[in-house]
């Protein structure tokens, strides 16, 4: 199967979700998404960073420099309270979206 | 750290964004490569693979950067706003801590702003607001004008008006009207209502449609047409219940029942006078013979293409033609045109402009005072400013911080100014003299308030510049190094300017007010030529429908006078047509001993008709010959009296007695001939500031006039005779309204109403100005003294006497005040010179007034300097030197 292109705006949602478990640097977020998605998405790892910076600008995540597990200097991102609320809203919107699309598609098959 | 930085307002160094992003990406690539190596890649392959999976590094870096930059911009903006709000909060808190300062500044500003909004509202409402008629800028007032004869603008005769209407091509329509008081009966007690008779151009010139019913049709201007009336909105709602079935109802005016055909829109006035009834003016049958009788007011609506100049040219040509066609009546007469709005507001404009200048100067003073107060506060703050500056606050922020206090003050001042202005407009509406057009409709108006606020904002900026200048020049080290050094480099120059400027403004206003007050005093002390004390007046006008003949009129008037004279407390009773100082009366041309007057020569006099005892009642002296006696009756030989001015003017030998004059009392009158039997004293009937005109008095028994004023001289307070007079009139004719009951003293007072209004208001403004300027000088000197406390203490310790110190402080203040005083007198003179038309027997540079105002203000300034000077000598030198 060919990898999937990411839908517009979905990356932001995935990043928020990734950070909802724990503080992490960009590489960790990328790894987390790749593993959880079963490597289905075709996404350059670099594309993650504009998303992270955008989320930071909106005040949904905040960042701080720190040391990684193997002593490398890395920028760590953390979800803010506002970001958590945003994630909840996005998830529920995503669910509605998916189920609505699904209903339509199933109807068409009949 | 970021929070800490914000706390101290230090401009912290932001990390370089490009490096930041590069480091972030680098970390990612390293971690990825590490992971790939662990899964079996060679280090070189791992590096390559990591870069491939990352994608185009530059593009992502650029994207991140632009996002970060936008974010930084946003944050900065937000911080700026929170900073501004914080400063305003700080300022408000600081002001609360200094209640005396705040209260003074707010009151001073509120007074200045409020008075400006008030006067500007009145100016807008009365002078600037367009007339409430359709395309009012096309409307023009037209007058007959004969400057050589002393009538630069005069009423228009009916035949002239008809010729103008027919031939004036620049006008879409012309309308002529005359205003009078009509007796309204049939709806409860008889009352008098303002009524206007208009010609057929009324609807077209005003462009107003009734809210109910219709306007007049041409047939209704014909003689003998059914009688109709248009009523005002006010009359409709108060007298006729405001119901639509008013159309077709009837209203009795002056004894004639009229059908109501329409209701005018609310607030309709034309051009500015309130009227409750408009009636079609039907030209008399012999109108052609009345070319010499000027009694109509005329206005016109220009056609769309016409300009005022073209219309003027055309009308002047037309008047020239009438001069040639009717030399006897029209020689020397031309036409004067003026925009109707100018015409309406002409008398009010100079007064209101004067008041505007007055309050403008007051606002200037108020601002200067607040500037000074703020300045003094800012000096106390030098140390704080220096500390903040040392901690890295930018100059912009420091200046803004200083200005924020001023803005808060001005904002509060503006809010407090609203009730001040509301009260002010109400007061002006009540105190305004008779005859200010449209004053009833003046309201505090939003544009006026906004305009004033705009000026105030400007003032606020100027005011906040004072502390700003200090901040920009502040020398950190000297401000921080110790309390003694804090006083170095004070702004003595600015202070001197403040004293001089405030003195100048206050003295200018005092001088203007002084001249106006003196003018008013002069005018009020003018002898009107009659004795207005203990005199009751009222008017009675007899409707022609029920008093059709001279006999009926004379019979009524004689009965009325006889009964009024018998009232206990009444000394004498009389009547006059054309009561002095009320603007009523006719002027007429006459011949002496039947010698024809050459064409173009104006031989005319004011015509007054009086009853026998009039001169005794008004205490006007008989100077030669005799007064009217009971032998002068209806049917006996007609006799007249002439005033001293008439005698001097037309009989240079001073011997008018025995001559005969023949004059028209009313238009179309049969011009009875009368023998001059006496000369009476002059009366300033046109206005106290106007020289007496020639007057000819006829006797009411011989020349019946239906519209007269009753004059009673009483031994009791005049108004106490009013109920009895009212009862007598109601007894003689229940349908007759008795109106205008007041004392003659009131009439004389009203004649100086505008002079008094101007003098009072400007006097009030001048007092305020003097108080403000006094406060200002006091503030400045106090501040200077406070700053010099150490120096003064030192000098006193070294042997300087209290007197020396006091003299020096006062001397410095008064030197600046004197400079300002000289400038102020100049400004005052310049303003007053523009007012010479409003002044009576006072020159703009009246030395007494100028000396007095200078003395008053320098007295105030002296007091303002003396109090702080004394305080300086009270301090104990030992304490002063030991302390700060």
Tell me the pLDDT tens digit for each residue of B706-749. 889 999 999 999 999 999 999 999 999 988 888 888 999 999 98
Closest CA to B884 of B492, B486, B491, B488: B486
Q: Kindly report the length of chain A.
A: 110
pLDDT band at B671 (very low <50, low <70, confident <90, very high): low
In a domain, B205, yes or no: yes
Is there a single domain that holds both residue B240 and residue B270? Answer: yes
Structure confidence at residue B381 (pLDDT): 67
Is there a single domain that holds both residue B222 and residue B307? Answer: yes
Contacts 24+ apart (CB under 8 A), A14-22: A15/A48, A15/A51, A15/A52, A15/A55, A15/A61, A16/A55, A16/A60, A16/A61, A16/A79, A16/A83, A16/A86, A16/A87, A16/A90, A17/A87, A17/A91, A19/A61, A19/A77, A19/A78, A19/A79, A19/A83, A20/A79, A20/A84, A20/A87
- pLDDT one-digit tens code per residue, A68-80: 777 778 889 999 9
Q: Rounded mean pLDDT of B622-645?
A: 92
Q: Please name the residue of chain A whose CA is at the shortest distance from the CA of residue B32.
A: A27
Mutate to test the interface with B, among A33, A48, A50 (most CBs of B within 10 A): A50
- Asked if B293 and B154 count as a contact pair (C-beta separation under 8 A), the reply is no
Mutate to test the interface with B, among A39, A41, A45, A59 (most CBs of B within 10 A): A45
Query: Among B270-274, B379-383, B450-454, which is the least confidently predicted range?
Result: B379-383
Is there a single domain that holds both residue B626 and residue B554? Answer: yes
In a domain, B453, yes or no: no
> Torsions phi, psi of B686, nearest 5?
-90, -25
Query: Among B37-41, B545-549, B626-630, which is the least confidently predicted range?
Result: B545-549
Structure token pair of residue B651: 């009989």
Is there a single domain that holds both residue B774 and residue B648? Answer: no
- Asked if B296 and B161 count as a contact pair (C-beta separation under 8 A), the reply is yes
> Residues near B869 by Cβ (< 8 Å), separated by ≥ 6?
B781, B785, B805, B806, B809, B810
Work out the mean pLDDT of chain B and round it to a whole number: 85
Is there a single domain that holds both residue B625 and residue B690? Answer: yes
In a domain, B403, yes or no: no
Neighbours of B832 (CB within 10 A): 27
The answer to whether A54 contacts chain B (CB < 8 Å) is yes
**Is B380 a residue whose pLDDT tops 70?**
no
3-class SS shares of chain B: helix, strand, coil, % to 5 = 55, 15, 30
In a domain, B148, yes or no: yes
Contacts 24+ apart (CB under 8 A), B729-734: B729/B540, B729/B560, B731/B563, B732/B556, B732/B559, B732/B560, B732/B563, B733/B546, B733/B556, B734/B190
Separation between Cα atoms, residue B24 and residue B15, nearest integer Å? 13
**Is A12 a residue whose pLDDT tops 80?**
yes
Structure confidence at residue B315 (pLDDT): 95
> Residues near B609 by Cβ (< 8 Å), separated by ≥ 6?
B576, B577, B578, B665, B697, B698, B699, B700, B703, B705, B708
**Is B476 a residue whose pLDDT tops 80?**
no
Q: Rounded mean pLDDT of B85-90?
A: 82
Structure confidence at residue B584 (pLDDT): 75
Contacts 24+ apart (CB under 8 A), A92-100: A94/A13
Using DSSP, state whether B592 is helix, strand or coil. strand
Separation between Cα atoms, residue B379 and residue B371, nearest integer Å? 12
Structure confidence at residue B67 (pLDDT): 86
Structure confidence at residue B677 (pLDDT): 95
Whose structure tokens read 């100014």? B417
Q: Residue B28: its chain A contacts at CB < 8 A?
A: 25-27, 30, 45, 49, 74
In a domain, B745, yes or no: no
Cβ contact (<8 Å) for B54 and A50? no
Is there a single domain that holds both residue B548 and residue B644? Answer: yes
B interface with A, Cβ–Cβ below 8 Å: 20-21, 23-25, 27-28, 30-32, 34-35, 53-57, 59-60, 63-64, 67-68, 70-71, 74
- Asked if B260 and B229 count as a contact pair (C-beta separation under 8 A), the reply is yes
Strand B139-146 vs strand B334-339: parallel, antiparallel, or unpaired?
antiparallel
Cα dist from A15 to A22, A72, B822, whole Å: 11, 22, 79
Residue B801 vs residue B884, higher pLDDT = B801
3-class SS shares of chain A: helix, strand, coil, % to 5 = 60, 15, 25
Q: How far is A86 from chain B (nearest CA, A)?
A: 19
Structure token pair of residue B702: 């011989």
Q: Rounded mean pLDDT of B22-35?
A: 89
Cβ contact (<8 Å) for B28 and A25? yes
In a domain, B533, yes or no: no
- pLDDT one-digit tens code per residue, B137-159: 899 999 999 888 777 888 899 99
Domain residues for B864?
494-523+750-884
Cβ contact (<8 Å) for A54 and B34? no
A73 → closest Cβ in B27, B34, B35: B27
What is the domain count for chain B? 4
Separation between Cα atoms, residue B134 and residue B804, nearest integer Å? 73
Residue B368 vs residue B377, higher pLDDT = B368
Structure confidence at residue B667 (pLDDT): 46
Q: How far is A13 from chain B (nearest CA, A)?
A: 18
Q: Tell which of B317, B345, B373 closes a domain.
A: B345
- For chain B, what is the radius of gyration of the CA atoms? 40
Structure confidence at residue B484 (pLDDT): 44
- Asked if B591 and B603 count as a contact pair (C-beta separation under 8 A), the reply is yes
In a domain, B34, yes or no: yes
Separation between Cα atoms, residue B790 and residue B796, nearest integer Å? 10
Q: Tell which of B298, B328, B345 closes a domain.
A: B345
Is there a single domain that holds both residue B80 and residue B184? Answer: no
- Asked if B666 and B284 count as a contact pair (C-beta separation under 8 A), the reply is no
Cβ contact (<8 Å) for A45 and B28? yes
Separation between Cα atoms, residue B656 and residue B659, nearest integer Å? 6
Q: How far is A42 from chain B (nearest CA, A)?
A: 10
Strand B277-280 vs strand B191-198: parallel, antiparallel, or unpaired?
parallel
Cβ contact (<8 Å) for A75 and B68? no
Is there a single domain that holds both residue B58 and residue B146? Answer: no
A46 → closest Cβ in B31, B55, B74: B55
The answer to whether A35 contacts chain B (CB < 8 Å) is no
Is there a single domain that holds both residue B710 and residue B837? Answer: no
**Is B7 a residue whose pLDDT tops 50?**
no
Cβ contact (<8 Å) for B25 and A46? yes
- Asked if B123 and B425 count as a contact pair (C-beta separation under 8 A), the reply is no
The 3-class secondary structure across B255-291, one letter per residue, is CEEEEEEEECCCCCCCCCCCCCEEEECCCCCCHHHHC
Q: Which residues pair with B256 in a beta bridge?
A: B253
Is there a single domain that holds both residue B219 and residue B253? Answer: yes
Q: Rounded mean pLDDT of B212-225?
A: 91
- Kindly provide the b/e burial profile for residues B565-576, where b requires at least 16 CB atoms within 10 angstroms of the residue's own CB: bebeebebbbbb
**pTM for the full predicted model:** 0.72
Q: Please name the residue of chain B whose CA is at the shortest distance from the CA of residue A74.
A: B27
- pLDDT one-digit tens code per residue, B636-670: 889 999 999 999 999 988 889 999 988 754 444 55
Q: Tell which of B735, B768, B803 closes a domain.
A: B735
Is there a single domain that holds both residue B723 and residue B754? Answer: no
- By percentage, how much of chain B surpasses pLDDT 70? 90
**Is B751 a residue whose pLDDT tops 50?**
yes
In a domain, B569, yes or no: yes
Residue B378 vs residue B564, higher pLDDT = B564
Structural domains of chain A sorted by starting position, each given as residue range(s) with its CATH number in brackets: 10-109 (1.10.10.10)
**Is B811 a residue whose pLDDT tops 70?**
yes
- pLDDT one-digit tens code per residue, B423-458: 999 998 888 887 788 887 788 878 887 887 787 777
Is there a single domain that holds both residue B518 and residue B554? Answer: no
> Torsions phi, psi of B146, nearest 5?
-140, 80
Cβ contact (<8 Å) for B54 and A68? no
pLDDT band at B488 (very low <50, low <70, confident <90, very high): very low
Angle ∠(B635,B637,B640) on CA atoms, nearest 5:
115
Question: What is the DSSP code (8-state) at residue A41?
Answer: B
Whether the complex's predicted ipTM surpasses the cut of 0.90: no
Query: Burial level of B603, CB count in 10 A (0-12/13-18/19+)?
Result: middle
**Is B272 a residue whose pLDDT tops 60?**
yes
Q: Residue B33: its chain A contacts at CB < 8 A?
A: none
- pLDDT one-digit tens code per residue, B555-611: 999 999 999 999 999 999 999 998 998 877 777 778 888 777 776 566 888 889 999
Structure confidence at residue B13 (pLDDT): 42
Cβ contact (<8 Å) for A53 and B67? yes
| B257-261, B362-366, B392-396: range with highest mean pLDDT | B257-261
Q: Rounded mean pLDDT of B309-337?
A: 92
Separation between Cα atoms, residue B302 and residue B296, nearest integer Å? 19
| A32-36, B78-82, B399-403, B478-482: range with highest mean pLDDT | A32-36
Separation between Cα atoms, residue B835 and residue B823, nearest integer Å? 19
């Amino acid at each position: 199967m060919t990898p999937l292109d990411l839908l517009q705006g979905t990356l932001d949602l995935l990043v928020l979700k990734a950070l909802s478990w724990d503080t992490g640097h960009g590489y960790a977020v990328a790894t987390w998404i790749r593993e959880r998605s079963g490597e289905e998405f075709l996404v350059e790892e670099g594309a993650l960073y504009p998303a992270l910076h955008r989320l930071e600008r909106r005040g949904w995540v905040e960042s701080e420099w720190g040391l990684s597990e193997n002593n490398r200097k890395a920028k760590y991102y953390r979800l803010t309270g506002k970001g958590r609320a945003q994630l909840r809203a996005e998830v529920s919107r995503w669910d509605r979206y998916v189920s609505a699309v699904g209903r339509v598609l199933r109807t068409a098959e009949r | 750290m970021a929070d800490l930085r914000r706390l101290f307002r230090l401009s912290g160094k932001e990390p370089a964004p490009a490096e930041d992003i590069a480091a972030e990406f680098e970390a990612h690539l390293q971690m990825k490569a590490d992971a790939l190596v662990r899964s079996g890649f060679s280090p070189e392959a791992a590096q390559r693979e990591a870069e491939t999976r990352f994608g185009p590094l530059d593009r992502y870096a650029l994207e991140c950067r632009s996002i970060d930059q936008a974010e930084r911009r946003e944050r900065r903006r937000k911080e700026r706003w929170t900073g501004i709000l914080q400063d305003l909060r700080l300022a408000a808190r600081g002001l609360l801590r200094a209640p005396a300062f705040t209260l003074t500044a707010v009151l001073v500003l509120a007074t200045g702003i409020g008075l400006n909004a008030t006067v500007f509202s009145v100016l807008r409402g009365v002078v600037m607001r367009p007339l409430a008629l359709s395309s009012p800028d096309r409307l023009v007032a037209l007058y007959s004008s004969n400057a050589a004869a002393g009538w630069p603008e005069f009423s228009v005769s009916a035949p002239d008006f008809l010729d103008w209407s027919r031939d004036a091509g620049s006008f879409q329509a012309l309308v002529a009207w005359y205003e009078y008081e009509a007796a309204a009966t049939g709806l409860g007690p008889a009352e008098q209502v303002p009524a206007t008779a208009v010609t057929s151009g009324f609807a077209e010139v005003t462009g107003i449609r009734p809210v109910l019913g219709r306007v007049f049709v041409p047939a209704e201007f014909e003689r003998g047409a059914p009688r109709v009336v248009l009523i005002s909105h006010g009359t409709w709602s108060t007298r006729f219940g405001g119901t639509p079935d008013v159309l077709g109802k009837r209203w009795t005016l002056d004894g004639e029942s009229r059908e109501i055909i329409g209701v005018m829109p609310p607030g309709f006035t034309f051009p500015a006078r309130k009227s409750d009834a408009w009636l079609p003016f039907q030209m008399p049958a012999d109108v052609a013979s009345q070319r010499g009788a000027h009694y109509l007011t005329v206005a016109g609506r220009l056609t769309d293409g016409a300009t005022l100049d073209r219309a003027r040219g055309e009308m002047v040509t037309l008047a020239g033609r009438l001069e040639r066609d009717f030399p006897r009546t029209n020689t020397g007469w031309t036409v004067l045109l003026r925009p109707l709005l100018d015409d309406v507001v002409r008398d009010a404009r100079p007064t209101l402009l004067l008041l505007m200048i007055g309050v403008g100067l007051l606002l200037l003073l108020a601002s200067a005072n607040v500037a000074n107060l703020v300045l003094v506060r800012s000096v106390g703050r030098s140390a704080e400013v220096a500390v903040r500056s040392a901690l890295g606050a930018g100059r912009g922020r420091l200046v803004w911080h200083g200005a924020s206090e001023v803005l808060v003050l001005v904002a509060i001042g503006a809010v407090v100014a609203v009730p001040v202005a509301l009260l002010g407009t109400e007061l002006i509406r009540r105190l305004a003299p008779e005859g200010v057009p449209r004053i009833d409709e003046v309201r505090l108006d939003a544009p006026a308030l906004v305009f004033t606020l705009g000026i105030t904002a400007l003032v606020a900026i100027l005011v906040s510049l004072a502390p700003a200048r200090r901040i920009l020049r502040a020398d950190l080290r000297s401000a921080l190094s110790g309390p003694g050094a804090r006083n170095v480099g004070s702004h003595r120059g600015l202070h001197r300017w403040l004293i001089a400027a405030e003195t100048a403004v206050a003295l200018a206003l005092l001088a203007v007010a002084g001249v106006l007050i003196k003018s008013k005093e002069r005018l009020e002390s003018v002898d009107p030529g009659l004795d207005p004390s203990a005199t009751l007046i009222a008017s009675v006008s007899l409707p022609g429908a029920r008093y059709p003949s001279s006999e009926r009129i004379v019979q009524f008037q004689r009965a009325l006078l006889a009964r009024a004279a018998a009232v206990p407390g009444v000394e004498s009773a009389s009547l006059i047509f054309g009561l002095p100082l009320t603007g009523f009366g006719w002027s007429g041309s006459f011949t002496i001993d039947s010698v024809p007057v050459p064409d173009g020569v104006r031989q005319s006099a004011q015509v007054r008709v009086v009853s026998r005892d009039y001169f005794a009642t008004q205490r006007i002296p008989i100077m030669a010959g005799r007064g009217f006696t009971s032998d002068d009756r209806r049917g006996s030989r007609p006799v007249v009296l002439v005033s001293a001015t008439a005698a001097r003017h037309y009989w240079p030998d001073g011997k008018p007695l025995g001559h005969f004059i023949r004059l028209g009392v009313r238009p179309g009158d049969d011009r009875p001939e009368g023998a001059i039997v006496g000369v009476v004293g002059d009366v300033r009937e046109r206005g106290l500031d106007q020289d007496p005109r020639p007057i000819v008095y006829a006797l009411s028994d011989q020349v019946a006039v239906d519209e007269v004023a009753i004059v009673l001289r009483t031994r009791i307070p005049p108004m106490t005779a009013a109920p009895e007079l009212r009862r007598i009139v109601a007894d003689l004719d229940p349908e007759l309204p008795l109106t205008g009951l007041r004392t003659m003293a009131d009439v004389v007072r009203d004649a100086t109403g505008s002079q008094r209004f101007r003098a009072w208001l400007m006097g009030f403004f001048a007092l305020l100005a003097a108080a403000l300027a006094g406060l200002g000088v006091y503030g400045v000197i106090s501040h200077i003294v406070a700053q010099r406390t150490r120096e003064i203490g030192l000098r006193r310790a070294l042997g300087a006497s209290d007197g020396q110190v006091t003299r020096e402080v006062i001397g410095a203040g008064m030197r600046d005040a004197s400079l300002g005083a000289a400038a102020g007198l100049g400004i005052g003179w310049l303003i007053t010179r523009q007012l010479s038309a409003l002044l009576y027997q006072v020159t703009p540079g009246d030395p007494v007034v100028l000396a007095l105002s200078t003395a008053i203000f320098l007295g105030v300034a002296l007091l303002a300097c003396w109090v702080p000077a004394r305080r300086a000598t009270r301090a104990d030198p030992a304490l002063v030197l030991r302390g700060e």
